[in-house]
Amino acid sequence: MKHTTIALTVLLGALVLPAQAQHNRATGRTAALEELKKMTAAEGLEVTLFASEPQVVNPANMDIDAKGRVWITEGANYRRYSKTRLGGDRIMILEDTDGDGAADKEKVFYQGDDVNVALGICVLGNKVIVSCSPKIMIFTDANGDDKADGPPQILFNGIAGVQHDHGAHAFVFGPDGKLYFNIGNDGKQLKTPDGSKFIVDKAGNEVTGSGKPYRQGLVFRCNLDGSGLETLGWNFRNNFEVNVDSFGTIWQSDNDDDGNKAVRINYVMEFGNYGFVDELTGAGWRAKRANMEKEISQQHWHLNDPGVVPNLLITGQGSPTGLCVYEGKLLPALFQGQVLHCDAGPRTVRAYPATKSGAGYAATMKDLLTSSDTWYRPSDVCVAPDGSVFIADWHDAGVGGHNMADRSLTNMTGRVYRVAPKGHKGSVPKLDVGTAAGATAALQSPNLATRYLAWTSLNALQDKAEAELLKVWNGNDARERARALHLLARIKGSEAKYVAAALNDKDADIRITGLRIARERGLDVIPLVKELATDDSAAVRRECAIALRHHSSPDAPKLWAQLALKHDGKDRWYLEALGIAADKNEAAYFAAWQAAAGDKWNTAAGRDIIWRSRTPAAATLLAKIATDKATQEVEKARYMRALDFIPKCKEKDDALAAIALGAL
């Protein structure tokens, strides 16, 4: 029946008079060009129109392939309007064949109800990964005709949040050859392709979002075939899109409970809890608790609770959507190496120039493209092979909320814009991944689909690509060096050699990359952590701590203690890295720190470590701190709250009794 419906839809479409189709195209473009006048691009840049309705409508997500073509998942069948387009929503390919900067050809790659308002698309060679709850689907185009060859392969299934903005989101290719993706808090879970069982991740946990241990929105990493799944972060609300830079650092946006001015940008420290709900009870952020934060933007993410990774930035009120990391050189230096992010609520695409701050980052906001057009709703941002930036515009009077203003195909709108330096003519660099030299050149592309093709070729070439990769490794661009390092360290027999070279590099980001590669490649990290434990960079030591998580080595507790002694009592990022590292090894790690600290534990840094610990031994010290006359009254609630996170035990009972006797 489905195929009959699709065939009928195609037939009806073919009956539209060519003149009428041209009229519709001209009308849509005329309106879009008029509204283009309302847009403001950052200094030195200009915005041009790449495509508009009826070429594309309601673009929900976007990717750009190595040929410079723009792929769009449409959302005509949005939520309560799920029967707007018979035959289901479309995956479109938009192409500029004459080089004038505007799409003049559009193709339907696939159409079906199984991709209605798909919130993610990732083009990797002849594979197209589409995220649409309840499924993650891989479409194949083996014959290169720009049509899906047949029904998709199912990578994951059983994801909740069907026809919901908080379900499955986009995949992205990482510099380690793995896939990164996320699901919002209505997605809840991951199941096997047949939907029969929950996926069990590398930590041995079922991915259920049930609080054991994961809650709410989740971030993942896996191999290209879906195996080796890792849960990298949890307790987000609607973490709409994730991206990863060339060093392997993960960035993401997250939505607040609408209207609370607490939309946030996160650096995703691996294996962290991000605090949307109470870690212990699952209660919402409004629930009363000890040491409750004063400001809503802080309350919203439980930032006074031990075990919550801090936010990079609070951006205020909004509806965050697509996100990418700009690693090109075409845009001004301010945007290079930075996160670019769509926020459909305030109608803006921003960058968040970030600087290192201890073991984490600090960031500011810089607009890339804004508009006074009240229908401008940027949904995604991607980087083309030439370094220009494309922005998809859902284009609607409202944003999300399971509603839309243009409710029929005859009046439905949608736009795609291109941002580049003034006068820059778009182009697609020549691509040759069949040789080591050509693939190495492609690896330096700002476009992820191009880098995927390069990575795949270079990894297959192994030592035959080494000489070309070394040219990049010995260069001056840290991000390009990191990409080359990922592949050099995958040459069989050379893994340890290149990791060692990275750990001795003068650039802290390269040292971090080397340690991350060592973990991923299964090298013994203990001697590496010993080498880096006194590193001047708090961010490097942060990665050392994370490398010790769940480690069984008898040397691990003393190494953790050594890292803990480097805590300055001010750096929450570093403190949370120590806490993440201590998971399942709390008692041994804390005892090693106590032995190393001796009677000098009662410092700002020592109190922090005790506050963050979940071991019974910490309860005794928490009571001492809480009853200490030197502890200010306003601080006592902080230590009382910390006791909530220590499992029931005699030491905790004794601590509570001691505090009660102290008449707190």
Phi, psi for residue 249 in degrees, rounded to 5: -85, 135
Question: Does residue 152 have a cis bond before it (omega within 30 degrees)?
Answer: no
Q: What is the mean pLDDT of residues 222-233?
A: 98
Compute φ and ψ for 492, nearest 5 degrees.
-55, 130
For the chain, give the percent of residues with pLDDT over 90. Answer: 92
Continuous H helices in 548-632:
556-564, 572-582, 586-597, 604-612, 616-627
pLDDT digits 0-9 by tens, 315-349: 999 999 999 999 999 999 999 999 999 999 999 99
pLDDT of residue 401: 83
Residues 465-511: pLDDT tens digits?
Answer: 999 999 999 999 999 999 999 999 999 999 999 999 999 999 999 99
Q: Is the pLDDT of residue 7 over 50?
A: no
Q: How far apart are CA 370 and CA 267, in angstroms?
A: 24
Residues 536, 512 contacting (CB under 8 angstroms): no
Query: Is the per-residue pLDDT at 388 higher than 50?
Result: yes
Tell me how far apart the alpha carbons of residues 388 and 373 are, in angstroms, rounded to a whole number. 23
Task: Tell me: pLDDT of 12 over 50.
Answer: no
Q: pTM of the predicted model, to two decimals?
A: 0.95
pLDDT at site 22: 58
- Predicted confidence at residue 404, as pLDDT, reads 94
Q: What is the DSSP string of 248-282?
A: --EEEEE--STTSS-EEEEE--TTEE--SS-TTT-
Q: Rounded to 5, what percent of the chain is helix, strand, coil?
A: 30, 25, 45
Residues 6+ apart with CB under 8 A from 343: 253, 263, 315, 318, 319, 320, 321, 349, 350, 378
Cβ–Cβ < 8 Å for 301, 275: yes
pLDDT digits (tens, 9 = 90+) for 137-149: 999 999 999 999 9
Cβ atoms of residues 184 and 238 within 8 Å = yes
- H or E segment and range at residue 468: helix 466-473
- CA dist 610 and 651 (Å) reads 14
Q: Is the pLDDT of residue 6 over 70?
A: no
Q: Please, which residues have CB within 8 angstroms of residue 251's CB and are 6 or more apart in sequence?
A: 242, 243, 244, 245, 265, 266, 267, 268, 312, 323, 325, 339
Residue positions counted in the chain: 664
Q: Round to whole Å and give the CA distance between 385 and 328.
A: 9
149-175 pLDDT, tens digit per residue, is: 999 999 999 999 999 999 999 999 999
| Count of other CB atoms within 10 angstroms of residue 43 | 8
Dihedral angle computed from the Cα positions of residues 145, 147, 153 and 156, in that order, rounded to the nearest 10 degrees: 120
Q: What is the mean pLDDT of residues 522-527?
A: 98
Rounded average pLDDT over 294-300? 95
Where along the chain do its domains lie? 2-274+309-421
In angstroms, the CA 342 to CA 380 distance is: 6
Please check the confidence at residue 98 and state whether its pLDDT lies above 70: yes
Model confidence pLDDT, tens digit, residues 263-288:
999 999 999 999 999 999 999 999 99
Tokens for 128, please give them: 């197209």
Homologous superfamily (CATH) of 2-274+309-421 is TolB, C-terminal domain (2.120.10.30)
Higher pLDDT, 126 or 259: 126
The mean pLDDT of 416-441, rounded to a whole number, is 96
Res 661: pLDDT: 87
Q: Which of 212, 117, 114, 195 is nearest to 159 (CA)?
A: 195
Helix extents (H) in 330-415: none
pLDDT of residue 400: 81
> What is the band of 453 on the pLDDT scale with cuts at 50, 70, 90?
very high
